[in-house]
Structure 1
Amino acid sequence: MYIPNSLQLFIKWIQAFDIRILKNEEDVEKKFILPMFQHLGYPDTYRQNKYALVNNDLENPTKQLKNASIYFSTDNAIQQNADTSLVMIIYLSPNSHHFQEAITQSKFHGRYLKPLFFIITNGYSIKVFKYLQYHREESIFDLMIDTLRNSEIAENFYWRLNFNFITKTNKNILNNIKSPQFNSIEKYLRRHAAFGNILEKAEFEPSLIKEGNRLIIVKPKVLIECNSPQAFGKGDCLIKFSSVILRGLTITLNHQQILGQLMTGLHTKPEWGCRRFIKQIDADTFEVYLGQTTLTLSELEVADLCLCVDAVCQEYKKTIIEFEDYLETWDFKLLKFTNTIGFHLFSVDIKLWKIMHNFIKKFNYAQGKSEWHLFDQSNISIRVSRGIRDHAFIVPQLSNSGSVFSNNQVDILYEINDVHIATLKRSNLNSWQEDIGIRGTWTAKYTKNWLLEIYIPKVINYYSQQFQVLEFDLNKNILNYPSQNTTLKEINEIKDVLPYLRDIQAWLQMHIENLETSCLKQYYQVFTDLVRNTDSAIAGLDYITMNLQKILWENPSAEIFRWEIWTFKDAIYYLDTQVVKINNCKYESSLKADLITRVFIWIIENGKINYSQGQLNAAKQALLPLWKQCRFEMRHVYPYR
């Protein structure tokens, strides 16, 4: 049999190698690793020593690979990256036995470098692993160096790791083993519990990787890669499964599907019925709806899916809320167009809009240097800018509302568009939040105040004589929409919480899934205590009892039967039983929460309540988290359901 000259030279070198020449870590690198890989055919120019991982989000104490070499498939330094990495070697001192620590380090950095193999050696023994992205690594060799003196073992080592062989290996095929035949195999294995350990070998290696707005969360059965939205842009995610049946299936969800399907019922168990995309079929089987794909998953698979969804959606939700908080947009109606998102600030008569528009054209920032030369008009949109820093984008829109101005009314919108998002992204600051302010990006609230208090008065004053109209005539054509609700912090009367309760009630009415009780326990308790001292002569007692009776019909085994609720005292007693009940269960029907909220609203609106400042403060505190959840879902989730 023909034996290549390169193989003969490798065997000759390894058989003559004297491990006694290795005294320290540097010797292991220069006297063992370098000559070995030269004999395996790796060019020295394809090697990087102590390769730096450029990633600010690494939370590992060792953000840089130390005592390591990486071989790539190219000698172009710019192209030496995760796509071209071949082998990563970590070398230890000859007397070191910290192999497990080095393996952990290799696996961690392997998530970013994605080599085909990683090797750990102290010159006396060598461990070689095949790196499988998202799966557990596979041990290829675990040898004492002396055993490589055996020609057969050395030959096997050479053929598995030589440069020519590895460069021809397709990384995607290695990391994504797919075969339709696996479907029938796994169906068979599922019927035989003894083969469970075979299926376990196909599981992903759990990990969590965060790089900027990209999050990868991996559990044994499920992997989700997610791109969170930037500003009010759109994100997306893809979902993969490790099971033999589903291996190779990739489900992609867009922004609307993530919000509409995955966002509710976070951190709840799948059997509680709080998640929109999950339906329990029997004790250990669930039907799952992801985008346009319907899957049947086991109890373990759906548990891992929920853990991944929780991590992804929590980050996704946090990103959206952060932008709304920082840009102060919550108080304004959200309007979505093809490529833009706008927030309705106020409305003006078309006559006033025309002179506002003329002023913008006259004071283009490229045509002067006064304090008012800060506009750039592009089509119909207004860009408030000094040429370097964009402050705000404003868009006029003809109103369709049947207001006093009819079709002559123009809505003024605070716009978030691709240019605005790009401005935030390219800011030379540590984070986009640092750009928010009067010298940077204006918030919606500041923009509205600037327009009403500074810009429009300036425009009216500038054109009032030219158009021969009184300032009063133009000012009266501004239709401002103040916030309908007193902020919770500023509420001093119990009736002022009613708008918040009505928002929650409308949300509960639309919420067809169950609710986790953690968000309701304090709410039930505090408001039951609050309305306890209400005049029993309250009007509409029949409305209160009717709503409580509907709850009893849902639960006929309750201690109080529907015909026993006759008085206001009975109603309070039944509310108390609901407080006890909710403290002893994990989830609550949204219908019941809706009915109880209706009762609270009616009592506060129609009753005479004797309450303390402490009770009012407790009520505001109990409402805040529930109302914030309601506000987010009504604004960002329900439009896509």
Structure 2
Amino acid sequence: MSISEQIQQFTKWIQTFDNRILKSEYDVEQKFIMPMFKYLGYPDKYRCNKHPLKIYDPVKQEKKLEITQFYFATDNITKQNADTCLIIVICLDPQATNFQGAIEQAKFYDNYLNPLFFIITNGYKVNVFRRITYHQEELVIDINADLLINNEIASKFYNQLSFSFVKNIDKKTANILAHSRFSITGKALVYHPELQDILAKANFEPSTKREINRLTVVRPKVLIECNLPKAFEEGNCQIQFSSITLRSLKISLNHQCILGSLITGLQTQASWGCRSFFKQLDKSNFEVYLGQTTVVLSDVETTDLCFCIDTVCQEYKNSIVEFENYLETWDFEFVEFSGVRGFILLSVNSKLWELMQRFANEFNYAQGKSEWHIFHQENISIRIGRGIYDHAYILPQINPKFSLLPHELINIVYEINNAHSQFSEREEITSWPQCIGTRGIWTAKYTQQWLLSKYIPKVFEYYSQKFKLSEAELLQNIANYQSDRTPLKDISDIKELIPYLQDIQSWLNMYIENIAALILRSYYRAFTNLVRNTDSSLVGIDYILGNLHRINWENTPDELFSNSRDWKNWNFKDAMQCLNQQVARINNCEYENSFKADLMTRIFVWIIENGKIRFSQAQLNAAKQALLPLWELSRFETRHVYPHR
């Protein structure tokens, strides 16, 4: 049958159709939509009613619309998916006049089935929408069914929605063509800026969607799609803009760019100088460096970009921090070599490591059922465990510091491998902590303790008589890398705060941007109160006052010496007055120069290390509480950010 004959049949049917027979949404489906799509050329086998979506949560919808049809480009049920979905149709009651609820329902399906069009109809009015990914829907046909009796209008309607036409539309090409039109329009805006308001509909539609490790954050001007890291595997992201001039631009950033640039300065404004990738050009425009790409954005676009980056990077950071917290790896050095990623638990004599490998080989889990038959050797690594989950993987790394000695030390590395990635994929996020323990996945800390208290003593006991081993010789070179500092929450001696302050000072010394004042306010205040009652006999008052003057005047030491008053005659009371001024100043700032925060930390370290301080438990607790978020930030950035700069 020719196209003209098909159009004639469609026109003949629509001209004889009487919509007064429609009494319910069921009638709209059976007596209007199904015949219409039959005459538009859609085979029945290509249609699916009430297409199931497992992720659909009807509780979150105002109304679950039952009468929904889906038309695909194939009759193969297994291939009826987002790649082949052509049209979604939602049928309403003939008396319905508000289409908004149905539009929201269709948009929900659209997010997962990605149709070319979706249609909303009550049998009298037909609305056809087109969706460009992440953009507001575009109404392409708005017509009363009565008007289709006109041959010309009916022919045009047929040509726009017929199966032969729609099935041949390439979804990717359709988006590209739309982007091309926007690009051409953008050039016209240079000469006709008044059109900008008219084109506001080109904005993205705001949304946030998380599917396992894929996060999409959309604001009117910016869209970021991010693959979050898992089990120390690298993530990445792609940034798009809705502005006419940048519509076709897609900026892809790898793991190194995200950590080395985007993830610092979260929750700060672009004008504060806390984010290294922003450069303010004037009051309303910013130059933005994203990987190898530089763009100029308006203040509105910049605000949306900051929002998207904050949301994505906070989740990116959380993924890394949670993994380290769960596996208790923070106290161990992270290493990466020969495709291996892991943490150094301890170092042992090379002869002892050879015996550990030999023991693991003898007690392979497949060769016995004793409590020690829990090993399996894979190349040079040792796998521990034979239950549902592997407990841990350990492998050797030659310690470069001792590689020239006759009995060099071997680093025992707690390996992060595919087992952790597969585990995080197959388990729900909420169940991850529940599967860590002595009967499941071992943490790095527990693995280290098990090696020292059980495995190594057992190896020595097993081989001591056979090989006439010297326990002292084997065990004397064991290097235990467990941190000896008191956990922050357990600190009662004020001097135990010093290692944490030194970590922060080292971090601030490397910091190149401004830092948000919000995180420093409680820190300045709490530690100023903590050292307030320091004995006046404190040595090094000139060092304290010198740093305070550098904060106030922002000069070099030489300039300070020549321009300042004779502060060598000042005492600790004067120093406290200056510290109080810094507390007052930071409360009126949005951001702080990192060098000033560095100097303040040096002052706190010096006073605590050298002074006799009278303090209350309340003052100590306040200091610990204020220190914790700043120290955790310094720990994260020192470990994960600075190596990528």
> TM-score w.r.t. structure 1 length?
0.95
Which of 563, 574, 598 does residue 565 from structure 2 map onto?
563
Q: SS of the counterpart of 2:303?
A: helix
> Residue 197 of structure 2: SS of its match in structure 1?
helix
Q: Per-residue deviation at 1:58?
A: 9.4
C-alpha distance in 2 between matches for 1:406 and 1:625: 45
Shift of the alpha carbon at 1:35?
Answer: 0.6
Matched, 1:620 2:617: no
Q: 1:107–1:586: structure 2 CA closer, same or farther, 3 Å change rule?
A: same
1:554 CA displacement:
2.3
Q: Distance in 2 between matches of 1:57 and 1:579?
A: 50
Q: Work out whether residues 400 and 406 of structure 1, in 8 Å CA contact, stay in contact via their aligned partners in 2.
A: no
Shift of 1:134: 1.2
On the 8 A contact 2:262/2:313 being kept in 1, the answer is yes
Contact 2:65 2:102 in 1 (8 A): no
- Matches for 1:196-595 after TM superposition, within 5 Å: 196-386=196-386, 388-402=388-402, 408-426=408-426, 431-554=431-554, 562-563=564-565, 565=567, 566-595=570-599
Conserved 8 A contact 1:130-1:138: yes
- 1:124 is matched with 124
Aligned to 1:170: 170
Matched letter for residue 327 of structure 2: L
8 Å Cα contact 1:57-1:210 kept in structure 2: no
Of residues 408-417 and 176-185 in structure 1, the stretch that sits farther from structure 2 once superposed is 176-185
Tell me, in whole angstroms, the C-alpha distance in 1 between the residues paired with 2:633 and 2:63. 37
Q: Alpha carbon RMSD of aligned pairs, Å?
A: 2.3
User: Partner of 1:23: helix, strand, or coil?
Assistant: coil
Q: CA-to-partner distance for each residue in 1:552-596, whole Å, 9 max, x for gaps?
A: 22289xxxx943753322221111111111111211111111111
TM-superposed deviation, 1:182: 6.3
Counterpart AA for 2:55: N
Q: CA 1:496 to 1:359, structure 2 compared with 1: closer, same or farther past 3 Å? A: same
CA distance in 2, matches of 1:533, 1:187: 67
Whole-angstrom distance in 2 between the partners of 1:62 and 1:397: 59
Q: Distance in 1 between matches of 2:176 and 2:203?
A: 12
Correspondence for 1:634: 638
1:190–1:206 CA distance, 2 compared to 1 (3 A): farther
C-alpha distance after superposition, 1:54-96 (max 9, x if no partner): 3379984479763211101111111111111110111111122
2: distance between equivalents of 1:330 and 1:97? 60
In structure 1, stretches of 5+ residues that fail to align are none
Is 1:390–1:423's contact at 8 Å kept on the other side of the alignment?
no
List per-residue Cα deviations over 1:168-188 (Å, max 9, x = no partner). 112112223367796675355
Deviates more, 1:15-24 or 1:428-437: 428-437
Q: CA deviation at 1:99?
A: 0.7
Deviations 1:244-273 (A, max 9, x none): 222222111111111111000111111111
Tell me if the contact between 1:223 and 1:241 (Cα under 8 Å) persists in the aligned partners: yes
2:183–2:248 contact (8 Å) kept in structure 1: no
CA positional deviation for 1:202: 2.3
> What whole-Å deviation, never above 9, does each CA across 1:199-232 have from its counterpart, x for those lacking one?
4232222221211100111112111110101111
Cα distance in 2 for partners of 1:361, 1:612 equals: 57
1:326-371, CA deviations, whole angstroms, 9 ceiling, x for partnerless residues?
Answer: 1111111111224221111111111211111110111111222222
Q: Per the alignment, in what secondary structure is the counterpart of residue 477 of structure 1?
A: coil
State how far apart, in whole Å, the 2-side matches of 1:441 and 1:64 are: 42
Name the counterpart of 1:108. Answer: 108
| Aligned residues of 1:503 and 1:630 also touching (Cα < 8 A) | yes
Residue 20 (1) aligns with residue 20 (2):
yes
Distance 1:405 1:3 in 2: 86
How many residue pairs are counted as aligned between the two chains? 636
- SS of equivalent to 1:343: strand
Cα pair distance change 1:636/1:612, threshold 3 Å: same
* C-alpha distance 103-338 of structure 1, shift in aligned 2 (>3 A): farther
Alpha-carbon distance change, 387 to 616 in structure 1, aligned in 2, over 3 angstroms? closer
Cα distance change on mapping 1:3 and 1:57 into 2, 3 Å: closer
Paired residues of 2:351 and 2:407 also in contact (CA < 8 A) = no
8 Å CA contact 2:118–2:130 kept in 1: the answer is yes
**Alignment CA distance shift 1:448-1:273 (3 Å):** same
C-alpha spacing 1:437/1:401, structure 2 compared with 1 (3 Å): same
Percent identity over the alignment is 56
Q: Which amino acid aligns with 1:210?
A: R
Q: 1: CA distance between counterparts of 2:158 and 2:386?
A: 65
State how far apart, in whole Å, the 2-side matches of 1:58 and 1:305 are: 32
Question: How far is the alpha carbon of 1:476 from its aligned partner?
Answer: 2.7
CA contact (8 A) 1:73 1:167 kept: yes
For the residue of structure 2 that corresponds to 1:322, the secondary structure is: helix
Amino acid at match of 2:379: N
Do the aligned partners of 2:332 and 2:344 also contact (CA within 8 Å) in 1?
yes
Gap runs ≥5 in structure 2: 557-562
